[in-house]
Structure 1
């Protein structure tokens, strides 16, 4: 049904990429094989007149994606977080994409609010201004709540954006299939995986209830963090296509002159924004993945305010511990231990040589530590580290790529506030504290206690399990079944006993 539409859309896409000069940039970034280049030229050059011209002042890739519309802009933004897929140069180009699209009419925004919240705007807000920011998926309005007079930010999805994205994503899937069909060598670029990842991210951003939930979880995690605050979610004024938050009143973190005029200590702010990011990534495993200056303000009391929670990063506890040990090893310049952690975690195949890997890691770390303190970069270290681990057979880990990309952005923010900041001096106490809390006897006892609690949940089943094990001994069953029953009963019984003992130990240690 959608085949002809997808073909037409892809022809126009190819024509736009060719007309703006982006086609060569993309093919070079992917090191595309000759057949794929020929297919791209076939789609682009003969129909170049169908392509959008875009803004000639922009770099080719951003010029093309901006001209093609919201879905393509969002696609570029997401790809900018995956230098492992598009290369560092193209990722850098895509990173400058700005969410500065023409806003849709305020009357349409008011209609969306009334439809979603079930009441006239005049009954909900005393004031509802024109859009103050317009992005690829939504735009934001400043408003004043009628009941309380509180100033709020109201985020509203673009009308029809779901249908527009669905149409373009169908075309993206079609293109990925064509790439795999006509250029089997390009399958290593995982085009279908890339589009599937994009599809999942967009589906999440097209339901503002999910972003509201992300903001709520982030607020719960960071509630006790000194010098940090988030605008509260107004759940009674939020729905699937509308999200309302308290107004973030403060000075933009990127406006150094205004920060100085307000009497804020920029050096301290730079250290704090870096510490906060590391705390959230290591302690909580849940971090803001878009912490650039446009999403950060400084309140009158000096608190850093973060907003826009469309992209959040998540790292499971095991990966956090591995990441912390790797960072800590580099901080201490213990490259052998860094290598061992990679092998212990299964990141590098066991048949590789650990000593050779440690030497490769030393080649990564020593040049960085030889730099002036103001030039030491954790983001650069992670980028080099991924290059080395890839050579030793480590598979790409998406969550660490996102972490590294965010680390680069946060370092950029910190250095814009204080060019002489020593990243490692700021990071060391955060990493050391996490190591103390998560790796050691106390952490081991807590882990075992949590495991025992799960096992103890089988308590009500213990009598039946033990009875079944005894019957199995008296009346032998096939070997494939007998050990499983016996071990299950033994594990449950051991879990119940261990649970009680370890809970007592944890309480003692606490």
Structure 2
């Protein structure tokens, strides 16, 4: 009861803020239909609303979230990946949400650094800039120069990220509220359950937890750096682990040209098309080769070194694609390019995305409506990110569950395409990675690769067979000892099934011996 009253009080303040900005429209219908405080929404609109200005709904929503503070700014950035939930235009407007906030004092930053690292600032750094270079929703960054340390060179220019004081408590309170709202929506609106509001909030909470433990962000940077070891085209900063803790992270300082500043690149003697070729290869290698990608690759987090290498910072949001999902994406893209929409539909069934109750023919027809408009068009006019977004938009019609990892990938594809077209409007960034894509498809989705994968899966079944049999034997023994009362005929069937397992394993082993002798 106390949680409900507290949540309603906070929700009323949020509704008033939304009403002042005319930002209720993206959520009002869903909340009212769910029976969540419709009186609060109506009262806020009447008492605190004002005439709607010329801004789009997404722009007004972004302004309201900015006013509500750090947790809601971060939520807006996460929601920018959910075009299926809010629509493409609102999601695009939220993607522009800036989290440049007033900085907290240098005194507080220095105190936190000393508390976290257990040493005085003068022992840690030979120089520390009081003025932060950026102040975001969760943390702010100061430039510094290292003092002597065992694991990091003396006099090394570094960037020091420090969590905002009290940010963890404020975020937890807001996440509790958002979880309460999401639970109410799922409880009262079955039609909205496919959007997984509770899972969205929990994903948001998990993302924030990673961002609030800077050791985890440092580990993400380290993994990404290892993936590109020896690749001169992509630079991930070295982490100074001796000056990194839960609320402080120190990393190599990256200086370069903003990723979207074409004139500055040309002035520095860099070939913009060559930079885009590197960026396309990096994106492909992260998503398909490694299945681990930077989840927030906007121009503010990416620069180009004066040697032409792509440089990246801010590893709070990272995405993973397992092997099955990467195969799904490759097969889907190939099917669209070959206009084989039935194959694309079957790929969705094989991946478990399209429910068995849905018509395959009708889904293939819907896919045709997405794929045909791109046929015959110049490649620089085709947006694969938009095509993926349109695929998400038909998900509700076919009762398909949302795949959060693909939504994050699509957001990054949109960012990459936007930067590419800003630098060279006649170029399609994905054509630059075509040789890599073709080679990957041959190695992973060609006939030989499919045969090899089938053999691997077959051997995996054989390897797991004894463990499965052991569990079956335990179950049969448990049932025979009276652990669960079954009809005698049912028990005989179970015993027969167990015997058949042994037969199939023997056949599999003999077949494997013939294949690999």
Q: For this structure pair, what is the TM-score category when the shorter chain's length is used for normalisation?
A: 0.7 to 0.9
Structure 1, gaps ≥5 residues long: 50-54, 506-510
In structure 2, the CA distance between the partners of 1:491 and 1:125, relative to structure 1 (3 Å rule), is farther
CA deviation profile, 1:58-79 (whole Å, cap 9, x unmatched):
9321221111111111111111
In structure 2, the CA distance between the partners of 1:38 and 1:290, relative to structure 1 (3 Å rule), is same
Partner of 1:83: 83
Partner of 1:61: 61
Alpha-carbon RMSD across the aligned residues, in angstroms, is 3.6
In structure 2, the CA distance between the partners of 1:495 and 1:196, relative to structure 1 (3 Å rule), is same
Partner of 2:381: 375
- The 8 Å contact of residues 127 and 145 in structure 1, kept in 2 or not, is answered as yes
Partner of 2:258: 252
Q: TM-score, normalised by structure 1?
A: 0.85
In structure 2, the CA distance between the partners of 1:115 and 1:444, relative to structure 1 (3 Å rule), is farther
CA deviation profile, 1:250-291 (whole Å, cap 9, x unmatched):
111122221111011111212321222122111111111111
Partner of 1:52: none
Structure 2, gaps ≥5 residues long: 50-54, 149-153, 478-487
- The 8 Å contact of residues 462 and 489 in structure 1, kept in 2 or not, is answered as no
Residue 24 of structure 1 pairs with residue 25 of structure 2: yes
Report the count of equivalent residues. 491
Q: Distance in 2 between the 1:224 and 1:499 partners?
A: 39
Partner of 1:131: 132
Counterpart secondary structure, 2:319: strand
- The 8 Å contact of residues 80 and 92 in structure 1, kept in 2 or not, is answered as yes
Q: How does 1:346-357 map to 2 (within 5 A)?
A: 346-350=352-356, 352-357=358-363
Q: Distance in 2 between the 1:150 and 1:120 partners?
A: 18
Partner of 2:495: 482
Partner of 1:113: 113
Residue 167 of structure 1 pairs with residue 173 of structure 2: yes
- The 8 Å contact of residues 462 and 493 in structure 1, kept in 2 or not, is answered as no
How far off its partner does 1:455 sit? 5.1
Q: How does 1:36-435 map to 2 (within 5 A)?
A: 38-42=38-42, 44-45=44-45, 48=48, 59-129=59-129, 130-147=131-148, 148-179=154-185, 190-350=196-356, 352-435=358-441
Q: Distance in 2 between the 1:96 and 1:462 partners?
A: 51
Q: TM-score, normalised by structure 2?
A: 0.84
Counterpart secondary structure, 1:205: helix
How far off its partner does 1:384 sit? 2.0
101-110 or 483-492: bigger deviation: 483-492
Counterpart secondary structure, 1:143: strand
CA deviation profile, 1:419-444 (whole Å, cap 9, x unmatched):
11134522433322222222232464
CA deviation profile, 1:216-267 (whole Å, cap 9, x unmatched):
1111222244511211122221111111111112111122221111011111
Q: Distance in 1 between the 2:468 and 2:180 partners?
A: 54
In structure 2, the CA distance between the partners of 1:416 and 1:450, relative to structure 1 (3 Å rule), is same
CA deviation profile, 1:297-342 (whole Å, cap 9, x unmatched):
1112111111111111111111110111111222333334323322
- The 8 Å contact of residues 33 and 186 in structure 1, kept in 2 or not, is answered as no
